[in-house]
Structure 1
């Protein structure tokens, strides 16, 4: 039975402010109202242009609508595969249908993981000591005044999905952030990890890598805690935005992509599947038990560890105990029993069919499932997606029709390993490879102030142009672009090499140009019980203006790609960036028997091809714009197809070495951190291995990877040229 949130005690003031992007600007509102009246009364001299409709789209933003969607989506914890998440899927489907977009559900049966038994006890010394052990409660405390305590009580206990079931005991060893280099430093300092229970803190790499690194070092189990230095700040929730002392970051430890039982193919009904034993030995799930714990529990374990003091940069914040390395004398006894079971997940999809090119798709995606309430992650993005749908529904009633088809996708089971999006991409791979213009992803639309974007490089300019048209939700005197370029980000636009969210299958598996957008960077209550509507209303976005701005930028990018006659892709900047990335790799292997000449030559050809297609596009724009000249839609279509397909050419069917699912040879995740992003990941992997082995065969393999990258860049050049050799 679904527990509904009692909203009587929630401050609803922000829901009353309906200003589109936060500025009480009479001039902007009047212009928008006038435009709507003209369209309604049919007083425009000619059919409105696409640009007119795009301006109208921006004027239709409504922060009250975004807030209502978020409130509805976060009434109960909704982990993938649960009835509460099925209810959330029904809500999304109803909201899309209400916007006049027929919606449907694409279901898959996939392997999900749920906790059955968790226990963790700390003894002050190892057996056979008779000193009493302290058992940790492993409970996230419900904060005072919470308006939905009954719903909070329904949340699953914090756990690591796909952690190995079993019991382990051993002396505690502190391993900082659990990175490969942290374990190397422990070895250098003479600390033996074999048979120990590793204590590591969240914050630098993917939790699945932390546990796997601990297993590789010989640990019996791993405990990963939320260090107050990294997550709590000066004040914790509900008085401040920080993680409370009992807060725990849940999450998956699966290192693969998609359903673990169907690696590389869709988990459709009656399909081939790996057995549970095959999944367990695939190397994609950790080989040891693990548990996530709170800052309070983590510091209690820290106080039990002796031995030499940890290095300065491994220490905690002010007031924390001195962190020591161990092993012991504190002795941990950990048990985790999980239930891995096939469960049904539901992707909700809808589309607006294109008027001129219905077989060309601009895809907007966001996931719905959450470890608990998911106000930031992911339902701020879901609320923004539904807000866009409502605005586009209103545009349709005013007569707008997109040139190309717009597809809305609300994914399931992202938190477990990008499962919903990956299964859908694998099932529709050939259609998407030939028809997808771009994939536009928003996961955490709002976690705080400050705009962030990551893209494949040909889409950089379209993001910049969109932010120049949307008002900054935190400074009404300027546009988002102004605050963005004045931020302290060393690199304005990131790249999509990591596998942190649902763009991975689109970019890294089939080579679709993609975007990922958000307001706010990391937020302290990530994946905890406290990522709820109250946190968002008090700290994340009190007036919901950031939600509206996120929807405006996201929607405007989609409209530009769907409506512009010529795709606004720029491959010249792509080539220039690849030159810089190549130089970085070359500098890393100076003096080694490796030449990057083949890659430099291929990038030069890419730059020439990009320059030529840019000239072609400008000439064709002039040609079709001449009075009395008939447009040649086939020429426009053919040129756009080359722009669309060039990204596909950066993929290779063999994929990365020992990571074959990742087909993109330009952007892919770091070998030892799935959150990290590398340019030319295959070359980088080979360089790191060659440095550790330093034998001639390893350097020859680096050269092989350089040639592979050069070949895909050459193929992209040929696609842009559009001529056979």
Structure 2
């Protein structure tokens, strides 16, 4: 019993002797002397008596009966007050020593997070003792009870729409539905409006493709942000348009300069395909959908080819209508033409092509296996693109569930609302997940759940044009978001199959995701669970994937430095037809039903449990469930490769060993490792029920991701500044590649030294901030 009794004593001592939360006439100042001395506070009647005190020898001689009666009454009042205090103290001791122990899973350090409610400002001097919050099992059970397959089926039906392209009337109808639901839930909803430039086909002048003098077709589909104009050249089939595919063509003697490259969908994004072709000096790109042959070969394909996110004509800054900016454009806009064609048009081109046989890995199922050719010099294709930029108003819709302790710290859950066509798996599922999670968690609040931190729900527009809605919001509020938003969870494309579970995200969230998957029963379409339990090995091998630029979570991670994650139920490409309908009118309810074994509603429940449980854990515990130690291993892997490549260069006598070294980079990673370990020790040895202490530790955790954005480049010129997930010379990957490509003493050694220096101090600065106050730092890295 000594442990609970001591804990109770500490609680009572803190209530009565600790620094006060507010000041009243009974408590004028906190005791800062560090001992048990008390500040004497006199009531007004005592002050009056002291102003009229007789001499010492006659203290009671002049006291009147009325005054004697007053003293007696006051003494009786103090006696009653003393008895009351003894009773309250006894009650508190009994309560503290007999309450149910908190479960160990309640937080990272085994202590549940009590809901702290501050006294009303009108009740001076009153301390509200918070009731114990629900334990974690109660919270997860409550979430499960609020989610149902039937509710998802109904919501999916309400938000299913064939026409809800960004900025259209259909998009605004869905935006108003979300806004109405958030209003009915009393989530203090608001609307974030932007005016952006979207690229669309000309209504009067169709895009066209010719093979020789014959027109192949006038596709309805298109690729937003293609360069407009007319180009022609030799057509070359280049598989998926990966760098290795294009290098293969060069190796077999095909010069890609001035060519029109024919590609199929898959493996990499449409924007990457076009960017790769541009690097090899192609003048135009044609892309067709690689869909199962039993579907309509005339299916149109839609997408965008901006190698970036956000409005490409306001790079690095928001597209608010009231702000005037000079003309500018993103460096990710292609300088070559890009156009989609149907599979039927691609068949026609393939059958007319000559030249060398395509290798086995280039051959798909579109035509006869032996008919795939790489093309010869006589196969001339002309591409005509007449797309126009259109100023478009878009709306992002938000709602918030405010926290009870740190309402200004929040996790954001978001989903794309728009689509070029039906977009059932692409956007309807995500929007339905967003709405149902909002309903479930607001019901949990009514039932007694008290989150420490806030949850922001966001419905984005213009996602199909490259995460424009979310990126513009980030650009507009970046200065405050990096200090307040500590996680983003994307719901885009969360259900497109039922065989595998995949996820991409910040290493800070990997541990939380694995723990969540071990608590949630992950459904599979054959009435079984995908995995019984995840360990470190099969979690990394079976679940984790690199985050791609087209991922809805990518701008949050690589542009804003907010720990982000996305996940998805997908089909096994080897076992069954992969869901290949994104960006086409075939992304419908019927086809998603087939891909999930008629269990779309059930998979939505599982997806909502994963997203909801991660969000609730992040807003419930004292300590943020962001594992700062995970980055240590990630950084060490990269630095080990850099050091190995650098040593190979030194041994090859390209440079003398004294001229270049990875010593300081290795030291910076060591600093980060020590800072991460020290933070965990600080958390374990701190009273996390103290609000200020808990907040300081969490602020150190929150800054890690943001501090891995390189401070040495402009977000306008290089928006994705993350040294692990970004693009550019400042990244660890670029440094590794540079070392691999340095073969001669004439190489750019100054650039390499700068890369080493800037990378080193980005990591060291992150370590310094993670370590805490400046007086605990040591400049000897």
TM bin, normalised by shorter chain, reads 0.7 to 0.9
List alignment gaps of at least 5 residues for structure 2.
Answer: 1-130, 572-577, 651-659
Take 1:487 and 1:303, find their aligned partners in 2: how far apart are those partners?
Answer: 46
Residue 224 (structure 1) aligns with? 287
Take 2:548 and 2:524, find their aligned partners in 1: how far apart are those partners?
Answer: 29
**For residues 429 and 634 of structure 1, do their structure 2 counterparts lie closer, same or farther at Cα, with a shift above 3 Å needed?**
same
Take 1:493 and 1:658, find their aligned partners in 2: how far apart are those partners?
Answer: 34
**For residues 698 and 64 of structure 1, do their structure 2 counterparts lie closer, same or farther at Cα, with a shift above 3 Å needed?**
farther
Q: Secondary structure at the match of 2:195?
A: strand
Take 2:148 and 2:234, find their aligned partners in 1: how far apart are those partners?
Answer: 55
Take 2:697 and 2:592, find their aligned partners in 1: how far apart are those partners?
Answer: 45
One of 199, 204, 207 as aligned partner of 2:262:
199
Take 2:233 and 2:672, find their aligned partners in 1: how far apart are those partners?
Answer: 56
Residue 308 (structure 2) aligns with? 256
Q: Secondary structure at the match of 2:418?
A: coil
Residue 463 (structure 2) aligns with? 414
One of 618, 628, 633 as aligned partner of 1:561:
618
Residue 638 (structure 2) aligns with? 581
8 A contact 2:208–2:383 mirrored in 1: yes
Residue 117 (structure 2) aligns with? none
**For residues 657 and 354 of structure 1, do their structure 2 counterparts lie closer, same or farther at Cα, with a shift above 3 Å needed?**
closer
Residue correspondence of structure 1 range 188-337 to structure 2 within 5 A: 188-227=251-290, 231-232=291-292, 236-237=294-295, 244-275=296-327, 278-279=328-329, 283-317=331-365, 319-337=368-386
Report whether the alignment pairs 1:471 with 2:529. Answer: no
Report whether the alignment pairs 1:552 with 2:609. Answer: yes
**For residues 488 and 710 of structure 1, do their structure 2 counterparts lie closer, same or farther at Cα, with a shift above 3 Å needed?**
same
Q: Secondary structure at the match of 1:667?
A: coil
Residue correspondence of structure 1 range 671-682 to structure 2 within 5 A: 680-682=732-734
Residue 154 (structure 1) aligns with? none
**For residues 667 and 219 of structure 1, do their structure 2 counterparts lie closer, same or farther at Cα, with a shift above 3 Å needed?**
closer
Report whether the alignment pairs 1:508 with 2:558. Answer: yes
Take 2:239 and 2:752, find their aligned partners in 1: how far apart are those partners?
Answer: 31
Take 1:492 and 1:716, find their aligned partners in 2: how far apart are those partners?
Answer: 30
Q: Secondary structure at the match of 1:668?
A: coil
**For residues 136 and 328 of structure 1, do their structure 2 counterparts lie closer, same or farther at Cα, with a shift above 3 Å needed?**
farther
Take 1:79 and 1:105, find their aligned partners in 2: how far apart are those partners?
Answer: 18
Report whether the alignment pairs 1:494 with 2:529. Answer: no
Residue 598 (structure 2) aligns with? 542
Deviation at 1:489, TM superposition (A): 7.6
Deviation at 1:388, TM superposition (A): 0.7
Q: Give the aligned length.
A: 625
Residue correspondence of structure 1 range 131-210 to structure 2 within 5 A: 133-136=214-217, 138=219, 157-210=220-273
8 A contact 2:160–2:422 mirrored in 1: yes
Take 1:670 and 1:526, find their aligned partners in 2: how far apart are those partners?
Answer: 29
One of 679, 694, 701 as aligned partner of 1:643:
701
Deviation at 1:331, TM superposition (A): 3.0
Deviation at 1:255, TM superposition (A): 1.6
Deviation at 1:51, TM superposition (A): 4.3
Deviation at 1:498, TM superposition (A): 3.1
Give TM-score, length-normalised by structure 1: 0.80
8 A contact 2:426–2:582 mirrored in 1: yes
Deviation at 1:121, TM superposition (A): 4.3
Moved more, 48-57 or 478-487: 478-487
8 A contact 2:316–2:715 mirrored in 1: no
Residue 143 (structure 1) aligns with? none
Take 2:406 and 2:136, find their aligned partners in 1: how far apart are those partners?
Answer: 15
Report whether the alignment pairs 1:722 with 2:772. Answer: yes
Q: Deviations over 1:600-652 (max 9, x none)?
A: 211122111111111221222xx56xxxxxx4221111111111112222122
Q: Deviations over 1:387-419 (max 9, x none)?
A: 111111211221223211110111111221221
**For residues 325 and 638 of structure 1, do their structure 2 counterparts lie closer, same or farther at Cα, with a shift above 3 Å needed?**
same
Give TM-score, length-normalised by structure 2: 0.75
Take 1:703 and 1:328, find their aligned partners in 2: how far apart are those partners?
Answer: 45
**For residues 134 and 509 of structure 1, do their structure 2 counterparts lie closer, same or farther at Cα, with a shift above 3 Å needed?**
closer
Higher relative contact order (CA 8 A, sep 6+): 1
Q: Secondary structure at the match of 1:78?
A: coil
**For residues 375 and 684 of structure 1, do their structure 2 counterparts lie closer, same or farther at Cα, with a shift above 3 Å needed?**
farther
One of 568, 573, 598 as aligned partner of 2:664:
598
Residue 462 (structure 1) aligns with? 512
8 A contact 1:498–1:668 mirrored in 2: no
Take 2:644 and 2:762, find their aligned partners in 1: how far apart are those partners?
Answer: 22
Residue 702 (structure 1) aligns with? 752
Q: Secondary structure at the match of 1:377?
A: helix
Residue 101 (structure 1) aligns with? 187
One of 145, 156, 159 as aligned partner of 1:73:
159
Question: What is the Cα-based RMSD across aligned positions, in Å?
Answer: 2.8
Q: Deviations over 1:250-305 (max 9, x none)?
A: 11011232112211111112223343xx43xx543222322112233212211111
One of 435, 438, 445 as aligned partner of 2:484:
435
8 A contact 1:643–1:720 mirrored in 2: yes
One of 678, 683, 692 as aligned partner of 1:634:
692
Deviation at 1:360, TM superposition (A): 0.6
Deviation at 1:475, TM superposition (A): 7.4
List alignment gaps of at least 5 residues for structure 1.
Answer: 1-44, 128-132, 139-156, 238-243, 625-630, 672-677
Moved more, 284-293 or 591-600: 591-600
Take 2:216 and 2:534, find their aligned partners in 1: how far apart are those partners?
Answer: 48
Residue 628 (structure 2) aligns with? 571
Take 1:264 and 1:434, find their aligned partners in 2: how far apart are those partners?
Answer: 19
Report whether the alignment pairs 1:668 with 2:726. Answer: yes
Take 2:725 and 2:276, find their aligned partners in 1: how far apart are those partners?
Answer: 23
Residue correspondence of structure 1 range 112-127 to structure 2 within 5 A: 112-116=198-202, 117-123=205-211, 126=212
8 A contact 2:233–2:381 mirrored in 1: yes
8 A contact 2:144–2:609 mirrored in 1: yes
Q: Deviations over 1:462-511 (max 9, x none)?
A: 11111122112227987665276699886345366532223233211221
8 A contact 1:499–1:669 mirrored in 2: no
**For residues 161 and 484 of structure 1, do their structure 2 counterparts lie closer, same or farther at Cα, with a shift above 3 Å needed?**
farther
